[in-house]
């Protein structure tokens, strides 16, 4: 899978939490029906469906930075169990996330830096067709979120183990177009991430819009941007994206992402 860099931020209050969860669930339901911050940036970049070489594992790395003091790195390794990535079959995904983000302390109206780390192991099944793939995953994740000072209003601090489910879908409706969708939800602080991309082939990659929703019990963020993805350079695949961040707790800003995928 690709190398990516993603940002994050928080949203305060019970009303923001309810808004975030309802919209995340709606987005995930939409993804399932169609057939796939503050501190959480889970992304699986679209790759060419059924490449000529046979892969046993795909590695994705990504990094995101924002103008509102958020920097995160994500990595994942997806293993084909009893087959190859280019064929339908069972999958094992190991993933990790780490970074820091800007945080407003309600106790003293100051600004500080929070830190978040996460790791998970998911089992799933991926269906592969000539022009589309869809993968279903479920497993466990551990999430740690810390800030320098105590904030009694923040309900998503500390370390928690949760059940996580994810869906990843990619398709090429025509030879020149692509659609991709990814959604995940974890019971660890009700954290969620959902993203949709559409693209048109420029010959060297796909260019188009992207929209993402992410958050947990405390924060929420929406991103609107554009991407250039599936750029093949030798055995590696690269992508970049960027746009505007709407944060319901900290402050709005801009984000930029770099992603890379490698198959073995």
**Number of folded domains that form the chain:** 1
Average pLDDT on 242-251 reads: 87
pLDDT in tens, 153-197: 777 788 999 999 999 999 999 999 999 999 999 999 999 999 999
Query: Does 23 have pLDDT greater than 80?
Result: no
Per-residue pLDDT of 108-120, as tens digits, reads 555 678 899 999 9
| Cα dihedral value 144, 149, 153, 157, nearest 10 | 10
Domain CATH number, residue 39: 2.40.160.40
Cα–Cα distance, 254 to 233 (Å, whole number): 27
The pTM of this model reads 0.78
Cα–Cα distance measured from residue 61 to residue 47, given in angstroms and rounded to the nearest whole number: 14
Which structural domain range is residue 80 located in? 4-263
Span 71-105, pLDDT tens digits = 999 999 999 999 999 999 999 999 999 998 877 76
- Average pLDDT score over residue span 134-159: 87
What is the per-residue DSSP string for 198-256? EEEE-SSSEEEEEEEEEE-SS-EEEEEEEEEEEEEETTEEEEEEEEEEEESBS--EEEE
State the Cα–Cα distance between residues 195 and 221, nearest whole angstrom.
12
Length of the chain in terms of residues written:
264
């Amino acid at each position: 899978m690709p190398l990516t860099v993603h940002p994050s931020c928080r949203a305060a209050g019970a009303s923001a939490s309810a808004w975030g969860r309802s919209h995340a669930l709606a987005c995930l339901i939409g993804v399932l029906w169609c057939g796939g911050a503050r501190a959480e940036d889970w992304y699986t970049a679209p790759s060419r469906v059924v490449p000529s070489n046979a892969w046993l594992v795909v590695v994705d790395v990504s990094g995101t930075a924002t103008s509102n003091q958020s920097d995160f790195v994500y990595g994942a390794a997806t293993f084909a169990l009893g087959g190859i990535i280019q064929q339908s079959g069972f999958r094992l995904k190991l993933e990790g996330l780490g970074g820091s983000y800007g945080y407003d302390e309600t106790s003293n109206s100051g600004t500080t830096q929070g830190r978040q780390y996460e790791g998970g192991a998911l089992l799933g099944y991926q269906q592969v067709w000539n022009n589309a793939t869809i993968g279903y995953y479920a497993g466990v994740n551990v999430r740690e979120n810390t800030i320098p000072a105590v904030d009694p209003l923040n309900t998503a601090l500390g370390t928690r183990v949760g059940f996580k489910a994810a869906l990843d879908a990619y398709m090429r409706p025509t030879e020149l177009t692509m659609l991709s969708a990814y959604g995940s939800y974890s019971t660890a602080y009700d954290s969620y991430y959902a993203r949709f991309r559409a693209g048109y082939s420029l010959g060297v990659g796909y260019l188009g819009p992207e929209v993402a929703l992410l958050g947990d019990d405390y924060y929420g963020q929406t991103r609107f941007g554009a991407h250039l993805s599936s750029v093949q350079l030798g055995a590696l695949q690269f992508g970049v994206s960027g746009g505007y961040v709407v944060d319901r707790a900290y402050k709005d800003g801009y984000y930029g992402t770099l992603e890379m995928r490698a198959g073995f």
